[in-house]
Amino acid sequence: MTRRGWLHGLAAVPAALGAQVQRPRIVVEEVTLRLKHTWTTTMSSSDERRNVFLRHTRDGITGIGEGAPIVRYGENAYQARDAAESLISTLGHENPLAYVDYLREAFRRLTGQYAARAAIDISTMDWVGQKHGIPLYRLFGLDPAKAPITTFSIGIDKPEVVRQKVREAEVFPVLKIKVGLDNDEETIGAVRAETDKPLRVDANEGWKDKETALRKIRWLESQGVEIVEQPMPAEMIEETRWLRGRVNIPLMADEACRSITDIPKLAEAYDAVNVKLSKSGGMCEAYKMLQLARSYGMKTMIGCMIESSVGITAAAHVSPLTDWADLDGNLLIANDPYRGVTVENGKLVLPEGPGLGVRPA
Ligand code: MG
C-alpha cells in the first residue's frame, strides 16, 4: 500500500449523533486481481484487472467496499482512487447510520466515477450492517432463500479453450457465453459439443446493425439460448425496439443501463436489465434500479465485473430482488483476497455474518 493510500478523515463528531464516536479512518488502495484465464470480450482482452478497495473504520468497526473501474465508461483505477480519496474529509463529517443522506451528500461531490461510488457505498453499507449486527440482505428486507442461481461466464476464445472452460464449469446449471464476433456460430458449436445446458449470450454491443442482430438471434433461438444481452450498441434504442418485435428471446440491456434514469426509455426496447454495482455506483443505487425496472414489468439480472468476493458478495445481498444472477467475477480470478458468498450447485448462498459477512481469505 502506498503512503498516499493512508489518509485520515478530519471529522468533528456530528452533534446530531449525540454519543461519542471515534473519528473515522478511511483507507483507499488499488489492488491487482489476476485472472485464471485471459478474459476476452468484444471490448477488450486482459490477464489482470485493477480495482479499488476502501476500508472505513469507526467505532471499532471496519466496513469494506470495492469498485471495478469500467473502461467502457472511461474509468480507471487511479482516477477511482483519487475520487474516493477526495471525499474522505466529507465522509468524516457525516453520520453513516443515516446512509441515504450520507451517500447522497458524498455523491453530490463526485461527478461520474461510479467505481469510486461503489467502493464508498459498499463500505458504508458493510459498516452500517455490522453496526446493527445484521446481514445486509436483512437490512434491505430480502429473503436469502430467494437468491437466484448464478451463471458462469465463458469468454471469447479458441474453440478448444471454450470446450475446456465449459468442462471446468460443470457444476453450473446455466452458462453465459460471450459472443458478438464473426465466429459466434463456431463458439456456440464448441459449447454445444460439450453440453446441452441452457445458455445465455452476451454480445457486448458487438452486432453493429439490426439485420445482423436479427440473423444471429434467429439462429441462437435454435441453440437453446434463453437471453440475449446487449445485442447492439447502447445508443441503438430504436433499432433494438425493432429487433424485439421480431425475435422470441428476451433482450437485456447492460451497457445501455447505467443509471436509474435510463430505465424508462429502456423499457420501450428491452425486456430486461442487467444491473451491476460498479456500473451504477453501489448497492443502494442498484436496489432502486431493480425496483424501478420491476415496476415497469421488466425482468432483472444482477451482474458484475471482474471483482473480488467483496464486490460479488455485496451484489449477492441484493440478488433476492432479481430474476437472474451473473455473479461469477470472483470465480474468474486466482488471487481473491476475501471469502464471502458461496455457490452450491449454481445457487448463491449468502453469508450469515453482519454486514457483508466477508472475511480475509
Ligand atoms: Mg454484459
Query: What per-residue confidence (pLDDT) applies to 284?
Result: 98
Distance 42 CA to ligand 1 centre (A): 10
Of 91, 81, 29, 82, whose CA–CA distance to 58 is shortest? Answer: 91
Q: Which element (helix H / strand E) includes 244?
A: helix 237-244
d(CA 287, CA 149): 18
187, three cell numbers: 463458439
Structure confidence at residue 123 as a pLDDT band (50, 70, 90): very high
Distance 305 CA to ligand 1 centre (A): 9
pLDDT tens across 96-112, in order?
Answer: 999 999 999 889 988 88
Distance 177 CA to ligand 1 centre (A): 10
Q: Is the pLDDT of residue 15 over 60?
A: no
Q: Is the pLDDT of residue 53 over 90?
A: yes
Compute the CA torsion angle 66, 71, 72, 75 (nearest 10 deg).
Answer: 70
β-pair type (45-58, 25-40): antiparallel
Q: Is 13 exposed, middle or buried (0-12, 13-18, 19+ CB in 10 A)?
A: middle
Distance 274 CA to ligand 1 centre (A): 7
Of 77, 72, 59, 45, whose CA–CA distance to 255 is shortest? Answer: 72
User: CA neighbours within 13 Å on the CB side: how many for 157?
Assistant: 18
CA distances in angstroms from 123 to 216, 314, 343, 353, 358, listed in the order given = 42, 9, 23, 15, 11
Distance 204 CA to ligand 1 centre (A): 6
Distance 255 CA to ligand 1 centre (A): 7
Query: What per-residue confidence (pLDDT) applies to 89?
Result: 82
pLDDT tens across 278-310, in order?
Answer: 999 999 999 999 999 999 999 999 999 999 999
pLDDT tens across 70-82, in order?
Answer: 999 999 999 999 9
3-state secondary structure of 226: strand
The arithmetic mean of pLDDT across residues 234-260, rounded, is: 97
The arithmetic mean of pLDDT across residues 339-360, rounded, is: 97
CB atoms within 10 A of CB 2: 9
Q: Which domains does the chain have, with CATH numbers?
A: 25-133 (3.30.390.10), 139-360 (3.20.20.120)
Distance 202 CA to ligand 1 centre (A): 6
Structure confidence at residue 348 as a pLDDT band (50, 70, 90): very high
Order of all β-strands in the sheet with 25-40: 6-8, 25-40, 45-58, 61-67
pTM value surpassing 0.85: yes
To the nearest whole number, what is the mean pLDDT of the chain?
A: 92
Distance 230 CA to ligand 1 centre (A): 7
Query: What per-residue confidence (pLDDT) applies to 7?
Result: 39
Three-class DSSP labels, 155-175: CCCCHHHHHHHHHHCCCCCCE
Q: Is the pLDDT of residue 48 over 80?
A: yes
Distance 96 CA to ligand 1 centre (A): 32
The arithmetic mean of pLDDT across residues 24-53, rounded, is: 91
24, three cell numbers: 473515522
Query: What per-residue confidence (pLDDT) applies to 2?
Result: 42
Distance 103 CA to ligand 1 centre (A): 27
Compute the CA torsion angle 257, 259, 262, 263 (nearest 10 deg).
Answer: 80
Distance 205 CA to ligand 1 centre (A): 9
* Residue percentage of the chain with pLDDT more than 70: 94
Query: What per-residue confidence (pLDDT) applies to 22?
Result: 54
The arithmetic mean of pLDDT across residues 183-190, rounded, is: 95
Distance 99 CA to ligand 1 centre (A): 29
